[in-house]
Amino acid sequence: MQFKSIIGQQTLIDKLVTGYNENRVAHTLLLLGNEGSGALAVGIAFAQFLNCAHKINNDSCGECPSCIKYEKFAHPDLHFYFPTATNQSIKKDPKSSLFLNEWREYLSDNNAYISQNGWYEHLGIGNKQGYIRKDDANELIGRISLKAYESKFKTVIFWMVDRMNESASNKLLKTLEEPPDNTVIILIGEKYEQLLPTVRSRAQLFKVAKLTDNDIASQLIKEGTEALVARDIALLSNGNWNLAKEILNNAEETQSNFINFRKWLRLCFQPKDYSELIKFNQEISKIGREKQKSFLNYGLEVIHNSILHNHNNGSKVKKAGEELDFSKKLSQFINEANQTDMYSALNQANYHVERNAHAGILFSDLSFTMVDLIAKGSKFAK
Ligand SMILES: [Zn+2]
């Protein structure tokens, strides 16, 4: 990662670069910032910068052999430690080095803007808590006692040092205090008070500020979001880039569910020609299980909203614009005559999607049920 791909944080980056230019990089740094502030991304970019052979404009070049390896999070002198726990493939004695493939994949997928929950989900550790453990500490000590393979600095990055357990930290006290020559240890943490005092006292602290609304909005716009939407998301995301992305993804999903659902109901409403409906069923059969479930859940929400509209509780419907108009108009056709059956048809479908039913058969069956139910509702409305 280069500094130029970091969102915001220019003041911090300047401070780190100035430290390097003035030849006073601490052995052990602590970058402390909330989730979504980009502390890990800054740490990785700094490590890449330290070892770049052709630094330009106070950034790494992104192209030298060292940078190319850093960009893939796979350089022999870059060492990562992070919380782990047992999962389906590692059933005992978990430690970071056993999960490096998963780690690099997760980092790449998210451009190093990651979260603890997201990581645990990626690892599939269930409800277990992840830790940085004694085995990690032992391995690190062994590794940094060797000479650097191909670069000036050995760089060590601990992500979520908040999750380092006491036996690991006891092992590392001396290393953090005085790492071997040309070793830079970068600790990334979220909550100062959750760090073991023995760990935090050994590092030079750099605070990673929350992102500003402007940082988030500009980045969203850069990635193709409309300016007005970007601003709204930035306001909701409280300086957390991860949250901004999540809101954006949810909004996109809701929008696509809305469009699909409206199209589907129109096709189910007094169909003259079933070929369009059949085509729709084929399309929805191909979108994958998670999206099908999300589509069906959207349908359940639509029915719920119709009930609210029909009982003078329309103000509780959490929709706006086109979606709200649609839900108002639709509510006259979803009524006592069909709402219960419609609800259970969608619910049943959801249940079967979950259990890997044949999507083509399932959706064509469901569509014909909907045609009948909408006809019932329309008759009742008259
Ligand atoms: Zn370079």
**What tens digit of pLDDT does each residue of 293-321 get?**
999 999 999 999 999 999 988 888 888 78
Region for 58 from its dihedrals, namely left if φ exceeds 0, alpha if ψ lies in -120 to 50, beta otherwise: left
Cα of 71 vs centre of ligand 1, distance in Å, is: 10
Q: What's the pLDDT at 139?
A: 96
Q: How far is the CA of 95 from the centre of ligand 1 (A)?
A: 30
Going from the Cα of 160 to the center of ligand 1, the distance in angstroms, rounded, reads 27
Q: What is the DSSP letter of 295?
A: H
Tally of helices (H runs) and strands (E runs) in the chain = 16, 5
Distance from the alpha carbon of residue 148 to the mean position of ligand 1, in angstroms? 17
> How far does residue 65's CA lie from ligand 1's centre (Å)?
7
Question: The pTM is what?
Answer: 0.79
- Per-residue pLDDT band at 145 (split at 50, 70, 90): confident
Q: How far is the CA of 131 from the centre of ligand 1 (A)?
A: 33
- What separation in Å is there between the alpha carbon of 26 and the centre of ligand 1? 21
What's the whole-number mean pLDDT along residues 261-282? 90
CA 2 to centroid of ligand 1, rounded, Å: 9
Give residues with Cβ within 8 angstroms of 297, minimum separation 6.
Answer: 350
**pLDDT of residue 147 exceeding 90:** no
The residue among 100, 91, 96, 68 whose CA lies nearest residue 81 is 96
Distance from residue 132's CA to the centre of ligand 1 (Å): 30
Q: What is the Å distance from ligand 1's center to 94 Cα?
A: 33
pLDDT at 149: 78
CATH number for the domain running over 3-210? 3.40.50.300
CATH number of the 250-381 domain: 1.20.120
* Domain positions in the chain: 3-210, 250-381
The pLDDT tens digits of the residues spanning 165-221 come to 999 999 999 999 999 989 999 999 999 998 988 888 999 999 999 999 999 999 999
